[in-house]
Structure 1
Amino acid sequence: MHRTWRAGRFLLAVSSLFAVLALAAVVWLGVDLHAFRRAAGQLQAETVPWTLERQRLGRNLEQLRLEGQRVLMASSPASRQDALFLVHVLSAQPGMADDPRTASLAAEVEGFLQRIGSPAAPADIQAWEALSSRLRLMADDLSVEGGKRMSHELAHLSNEIDEASYKLFFNLLLVAGFVVVFLRIVQRYLIRPLQRIQRVLSSLDARLPAPAFPPGPMAEIRAVEDAIVRFHATLRENDEVRLRLERLATTDGLTGLFNRHHFMGLAADEMARAARYGRPITVAIADLDHFKQINDTLGHAAGDHVLRTFAGLLGETLRQTDRVCRYGGEEFAFVFPETTPEEALQLAERLRARLLDNPLVLPDGRRLEVTFSMGLTDGSGCDLEESLARADLGLYEAKRSGRNRSVITQRPDLG
């Protein structure tokens, strides 16, 4: 392990060699060195942990705001309850409760979200906008507070170094050799590491690799560098948590496909784009045939395996531009941009052929032939709900006609 020592002790040992010739200068410099040591210790013991706490509180407030938005936008009581639970977890964190401002605001937000009904009234939505703005502003304030304090402490350290340099220059005639050696030590072991720390802090990003510092002998600098590395690790952990929460909010936990809520937003955007540029688009709904019988005879674990396998086959067969979600139970909804119903029908038949050529193998080794029925319709010039309703009629017709087939439902205006 690389040996380190306290900056004050090292500088005192060097200055003692010149004590006889420049005792007064050494004492004068010792005052500044003591101030630097105190400032570095404060940076290590107080400023960095305090700044990390400000950053964490700011991210928690932003996450609280996002979860509050999920409560208002929840499409079902279950998703609303999940969002309320996350709001409660965030509000109850120890760091949140330690700060009176965040504790008060978090309690106010949690109480408000628990009081409002579903769906939210216009007055509740307006009140939430005000609370959301306060959450965002407080998160920004916390981040700014941490940055200002860190900048102030680093500036203070730089000032201490500058003052020591000026005094050393003033005493150059008395202790020329001491000044030269001392400045080289300060430059190599203090100024350069602090400049490196400042550059690292200005470009710190959770998406980049952890900063690497060369081993140095100064314990204070090493402590700050270690704190920065830990801070980066915390940023990365929080970023990973944010990504996991986003995945939970947009995907179906069983199949990995988009969930219904997220799909509806993506599909509506695709429909609007097709209408704006006059491009073809097809909407479809598919249903696994006799899925209830699979659950009843083979168990829900087998049913889940079928759903996951079918979802994987969808990912391998459909194009990257196609949108698909688990619409509910064994139903799946599709949007095929830049595709006519006839072209989408060819995609469906390709999927049907792959499903027939690759029977599903259950965990216990049994092979299971699974088929699906699909309804398709032209979605150009229509809204999403209307297109899904027509596709559902096509699905009903496919079921009524014997299953394992796809049926195109024509729009009324096309005959």
Structure 2
Amino acid sequence: MNVAGGTRAAVRRALAALAGVVLAAAALAGCGSQQGAAGPRFDLSLNPSPVWQPVGIRLLALPPGQQVTIRASLRPGGLWSSQAVYAVPADGVVDLARDAPLEAPFTGADGMGLFWTMRSSTGEAATSDVTWGGASFSVDLQATVAGRLVAETRVQRTGLSVAAPSRAVFDDGITGDYFEPTSAAEGVRPGVIVFDGTDPGEPTGVLVSATLAALGFPTLDLSTYGSAGAVDPLRSLPAERFLSALSWLRGRPGVDDQRIFTFGTSRGAQLALWAASAYPGTVYGAIAPGGTTGLICPSPVPSPAVTVGGDWVPCTTGTHDPAPAAVLDLQRIPGPVVLGCAGRDEELANGCAWLDAAARKRPAREGDAYLTAPDATHLFYLPPYTPLLLPPAPAAQPTERAREALWADILTALTAPSSVPGH
């Protein structure tokens, strides 16, 4: 999320407070009358499961030819729920990832559809990334046939605060939060610098950084414009601040100093691309969805987007013209580039034109991913599987689909074999 001053500190405290919360695995319940393993029952692929990954859900031993209603509910301060109706096939097994529902707030087979379509009984929007990412929570599943409860279970979702604890960084002229994976992966891993504080009011840095660390990648959530996330009135990034962050991250244990990625979304996307193209000897790849592929001067008063030694780096005035000359020199980036755009982006209406201009300048190489999501909205770059800041229907499902596809592309880029010679 985009954290400034006290907000950043409050979120960090909230995540720390949640760090010890790991829900114990729930025993899978049988049918409502406790008939045991012989009767209808839920089968989960993993329980507890991490909030940043899908969980497989099946219903077994159902009466063939009937319809079953599956309801999901949880209570993080209020009742949230979703439900879908399925036809029971001849084998008596309903697999949420395989079977399309007869009635549901989503279309087609979707193993996590009951999770990201959850809505509050009071109409409250899902806006808290602590609730829907940092915290562990449990989802109750109930199955009914002809109005009778036949099976129930509890799906426990482990929050990011457990797998990706953070610590504040005030060192070498930089301010931010460092998320170090707790997984016992062997060898060094790519490190990521996330540009935070670039777009007030939208969650970017903390949620993205925690998710990256949970996936196994050491991540520095850099306060882009200064101490404690305070936004510089000119919204200019001194290159020296980024270079200090780069040096700091490369020195962390377990970080592959030959494979550092920059990560920026929305207004931070251009900074991620600029940093990777400006320092190809020390930055390996860039992940930059939801923004321009050229450096845009902040407005309404023209000022530099980036300075080097106090001097302006050339930038374009306005986002209206994604001409080739305005696109950054992405060919210089040695490793993978992940770009994405939303066709219904309410913040950057021509985002896909900027992506197309970049693709003409740097045709996709092996490892690159250029995702176009025609019906998605601006926040398609948030992690999937929860209702966090999803738009209303009909844009919710394509935005969720774009989130799933984008994060699969991100993971592919970060786990791809290095293209650095001899490395």
TM-score (normalizing by structure 2): 0.23
Query: Which of the two has greater strand per residue?
Result: 2
The structure with the larger Rg is 1
Please, what TM-score do these two structures have when normalized by structure 1? Answer: 0.24
